[in-house]
A and B are shown apart, each in its own frame.
Chain A
Amino acid sequence: MFYREAGQFKISYSADMAIFPIAQDRIAVLAIVAAAFLLMPFVATEYFLNSIMVPTLILALAAVGLNILVGYCGQVSLGSGAFMAIGAYAAYNFAIRVPELPLLVSILLGGVVSAMVGVFFGIPSLRIKGFYLAVATLAAQFFFDWLFLRAGWFTNYTPSGSVNAPRLDVFGWTVNTPVERYIFVLGLVCVFTLLAKNLVRGHVGRQWMAIRDMDIAAEIIGIRPMYAKLSAFAVSSFFVGVAGALWAFVHLGSWEPLAFSIDRSFQLLFAIIIGGLGSILGCFLGAAFMWILPIFLDIALPPLGELVGWTMDKATVSHFSVMIFGALIIFFLIVEPHGLARLWSIVKEKLRLWPFPY
């Protein structure tokens, strides 16, 4: 009833190609973004911003990057943790070794270095596919875990192996308080998400999807598999690298290689599978699912236990939280194997017709 596009005629191709061709969608998205920028800083607690919003947004950005590779180009990667680490350590080294560089530039350069390494580790994809490629990207994960732990140069020879982020100075604006951190991350994530969306709806995005859906046919209509695959690796690693730099600088503040272990790779891969492969919205839903749900369970379980007269200790809570989280992952995958984004599009389809059955 409220969500119906009747009467909205497109009279130009650019109107038809808009990201949100339906007016209600445009209004809703604008409202959400406006609320995130203008309302959230005033109503949210510091804990909420620091531990929930900032990490979720950064993970969503990394998921966008990974989704470009896995969801759009169909190349499975288990090395996203490593590419986050590369982004983080490269940005750190740029920041401490070339102090004149503005912080934002260091972060972007971190992404660029990650993109170059990504292209290198993408080369096997020209010969191998699927699970075998996943194993090849796993090599990147283990190699960089080892490198950042053992090669002192990358951590500026800090004895503990743990490094501290430089002061967050963005063109004279010192990003310090939780609200400022949140706004900084939110701004970057919005910009990069828009760029990613433009890429996947543009002709390079179509090349990626063509390679994903049928690589032989793609080659026969003139798509060069090498360019398509390596550009997907480059763009994907760039996004993941920037997210890694943000994760280290803004979320963690000080970190060691363990922050970017294989667990992070799995977390991102699950996020895009649950959120929806080949969907930008899915990245956000998946990242929120992976980050917020465990925290929510940790908080919600003890009071629930009290309700039935069972006082849980901390260990029991965390065990139960993991079990319920795992069960929910399986539940969602059974209900909708194409992820939360597909679930949402089904809801939208129903909303268009509501209150009528068809």
Chain B
Amino acid sequence: MTLRVRSFPEVLLSVENISLAFGGVKALTDISFDIRKGEIRAIIGPNGAGKSSMLNCINGFYHPQQGSITYKGVRRSQMKPHEAAEQGIARTFQNIALFKGMSTLDNIMTGRNLRMKTGLLWQALHLGPARREEIEHRREVERIIDFLDIQHIRKTPVGRLPYGLQKRVELGRALAAGPELLLLDEPMAGMNIEEKQDMCRFVLDVNDEFGTTICLIEHDMGVVMDISDRVVVLDYGKKIGDGVPDEIKKNEAVISAYLGVSH
């Protein structure tokens, strides 16, 4: 049941014939799809289908052996993770990758690190440009903290926070970078229904208010079908379906991948 029918003419990122293998294990085989500007794109598939590997290719963490990725009209072969970050790709992780010893505030401030430019000397003095920059970014970060409703845990070390809040802080850190493309790896894994609802609301709001393009991996079919504009389905490293949720629901190959077929 897709309530929102929206159209997205402009392609932000396109993946062409990507193949990735680890030794003899083929994680991805000849995958092509695109992510359009402003949409919420979901990648689904059974365990081990290659979804996370796909995200890792997009943000430069893995280097596929074949194929190419075109982002904002620029085709690239190899790219380092921090270069992807510099070009506006941010992500969260399946198993939370926060900086456990730092407070919520510091974690989200780290997300803005690419935009902070003052030199070591000014920072050591904590005067002039360094101080102004720190305050200016603090203001932005406080907006994100308000948005995610985590004011009360601002100064708490994230290692002490419960799982659901950690996921939210991680989303905040990714948002702090002000990304154009946000990759979310199972943002709702392990959450109860209320936490899932909250997280869905955040994802939709980010997409609506900031106009951020979102590519997410999710296992909860209800969530995927409700919030995503288009869905890619992977199975054993191959693409078996691509389209709007209603099409995906009727796709034979997808149904058999998820439910199994009788031979």
Contact = CB atoms under 8 A, between A and B. Distances in A.
Interface stretch (A102-110, A161-169, A211-219): A211-219
A87 B133 CA distance: 33
Contacts of A213: 98-102
Contacts of B236: none
B77 interface: no
Contacts of B201: none
Interface string A122-157: 000000000000000000000000000000000000
Interface string B20-34: 000000000000000
Contacts, number: 105
A187 B137 CA distance: 33
A346 interface: no
B82 A224 contact: yes
B197 interface: no
B130 A206 contact: no
Nearest to A197: B126
Interface string B124-161: 11100011011100110010000000000000000000
Nearest to A224: B82
B112 to A, nearest CB: 8
A206 B113 contact: yes
A222 B114 contact: yes
Contact of A218 (B91, B99, B123, B135): B99
Interface string B92-131: 0100011111100010011111101010100111100011
Contacts of A80: none
A11 B100 CA distance: 28
A212 B126 CA distance: 23
Q: How large is the interface on B (under 10, 10 to 19, 20 to 34, 35 or more residues)?
A: 35 or more
Interface string A339-354: 0000000000000000
Interface in A1-19: 13-14, 17
A13 B138 CA distance: 7
Contact of A231 (B86, B116, B120, B125): B120
B67 interface: no
A213 B134 CA distance: 22
B163 to A, nearest CB: 16
Given A203-B109, A235-B120, A216 B126 contact: no
Nearest to B142: A13
A195 interface: yes
B101 A278 contact: yes
A98 interface: no
A207 B113 contact: yes
A269 interface: no
Contacts of B81: 219-220, 222
A34 B127 CA distance: 23
Interface in B152-187: 173-174, 177
Nearest to B137: A203
Given A213-B101, A218-B99, A223-B113, A202 B126 contact: yes
Given A198-B126, A202-B126, A221 B131 contact: no
Interface of A: 13-14, 17, 195-196, 198-199, 201-204, 206-207, 209-210, 212-214, 216-224, 231, 235, 278
Interface of B: 59, 61, 80-82, 84-86, 90-91, 93, 97-102, 106, 109-114, 116, 118, 120, 123-126, 130-131, 133-135, 138-139, 142, 173-174, 177
14 contacts: A13-B134, A14-B131, A17-B134, A198-B125, A201-B126, A204-B120, A216-B61, A220-B61, A220-B82, A220-B91, A221-B111, A222-B85, A222-B113, A278-B101
Closest 5 CB pairs of A and B: A222-B85, A217-B97, A213-B99, A202-B123, A198-B126
